[in-house]
């Protein structure tokens, strides 16, 4: 019922009335914040002063937290059982898709966490099967980058395959150019610049500039891959899942 009422109140065009009604549902929303016209079906909303959600977003998540001057632009799709947490002056610009599947495909909790002044610009895709974080002053720039927190590994023959999940953590003062692809389970240290079109398949630990590289051959052996990973158990999942 709370989600349904939140959705209905979120469609009210007058901001101060909208905020008043949402506050009656228990949402912690500052009267100095702004919520535009859009779909807002969320259990918990916390908006600090000067935070903004602009028009024409589809936001259906468990929890949405915007610290002071945090912002969400227009035409974003934020969908799934996850938490969105934006620290001061952090923002998600426009036309981004951030999604997470429900159980029994996903399990546990997942959060998108942007540090102070961190920005996701436009037209990016983030898979939140597991959590993703961007540190202070970091930017997912340009367009068309993809952050994947799950992937698959197939046996050489037959239908056997496993899913590999892993959180993505990006440090402070990191710049990510257009069209980059992040594989599950990678960590990026502080003060790193990643050139456009790069594929990030392993941890980046030294500060500096990284650019894309050519393909390299890796021998395919499912048994060896499984032995290096931890199997996820106890969630009644629809497939075999491993974590890095």
* Predicted pLDDT of residue 238: 82
Return the higher-pLDDT residue of 125 and 6.
125
For residue 34, pLDDT over 70 is answered with yes
Query: Among candidates 5, 42, 54, which has minimal Cα distance to 25?
Result: 5
CB 97 within 8 A of CB 125: yes
Q: Give the number of other Cβ atoms within 10 Å of residue 101's Cβ.
A: 15
CB 183 within 8 A of CB 150: no
* Predicted pLDDT of residue 6: 87
Return the higher-pLDDT residue of 239 and 171.
171
* Predicted pLDDT of residue 45: 96
b or e along 35-63 (b: 16 or more beta carbons within 10 Å of the residue's beta carbon)? bbbbbbbbebbbbbebbbbbeebebbbbb
pTM for the complete prediction? 0.89
* Predicted pLDDT of residue 215: 60
* Predicted pLDDT of residue 213: 64
Q: Does residue 104 have a cis bond before it (omega within 30 degrees)?
A: yes
* Predicted pLDDT of residue 214: 63
CB 182 within 8 A of CB 169: no
Question: What is the band of 239 on the pLDDT scale with cuts at 50, 70, 90?
Answer: confident
Q: What angle do CA 26, 31, 33 make, to 5 degrees?
A: 100
Question: Residue 149 burial by CB count (10 A; 0-12/13-18/19+): exposed, middle or buried?
Answer: buried
50-59 pLDDT, tens digit each: 999 999 999 9
Token pair recorded at residue 87: 């620290």
201-228 pLDDT, tens digit each: 999 999 998 887 666 676 667 788 888 8
76-85 pLDDT, tens digit each: 999 999 999 9
Taking residues 95-110, report their average pLDDT.
96
Q: What is the DSSP string of 87-135?
A: -TT-EEEES-EEE-PPTTTS-S--EEEE-TT-EEEES-EEE-SS-EEE-
Q: Mean pLDDT over all residues of the chain? A: 93
Return the higher-pLDDT residue of 172 and 229.
172
* Predicted pLDDT of residue 91: 98
Helix H or strand E segment including 44: strand 44-47
Query: Among candidates 24, 55, 23, which has minimal Cα distance to 39?
Result: 55
């Amino acid at each position: 019922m709370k989600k349904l009422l939140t959705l209905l109140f979120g469609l009210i065009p007058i901001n101060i009335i909208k905020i008043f009604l949402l506050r009656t549902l228990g949402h912690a929303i500052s009267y100095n914040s702004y919520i535009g016209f859009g779909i807002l079906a969320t259990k918990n909303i916390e908006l600090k002063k000067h935070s903004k959600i602009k028009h024409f977003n589809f936001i259906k998540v468990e929890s949405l937290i915007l610290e002071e001057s945090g912002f969400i632009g227009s035409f974003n799709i934020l969908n799934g059982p996850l938490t969105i947490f934006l620290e001061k002056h952090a923002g998600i610009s426009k036309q981004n898709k951030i999604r997470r599947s429900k159980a029994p495909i996903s399990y546990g909790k997942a959060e998108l966490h942007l540090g102070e002044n961190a920005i996701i610009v436009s037209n990016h895709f983030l898979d939140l099967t597991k959590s993703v974080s961007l540190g202070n002053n970091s930017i997912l720039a340009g367009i068309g980058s993809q952050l994947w927190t799950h992937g698959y590994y197939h046996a050489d023959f037959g239908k056997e395959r496993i899913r590999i999940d892993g959180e993505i953590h990006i440090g402070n003062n990191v710049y990510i150019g257009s069209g980059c692809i992040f594989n599950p389970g990678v960590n990026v240290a502080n003060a790193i610049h990643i050139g456009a079109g790069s594929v990030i398949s392993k941890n980046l630990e030294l500060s500096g500039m990284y650019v894309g590289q050519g393909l390299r051959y890796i021998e395919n052996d499912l048994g060896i891959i499984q032995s290096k990973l931890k199997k996820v158990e106890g969630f009644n999942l629809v497939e075999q899942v491993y974590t890095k």
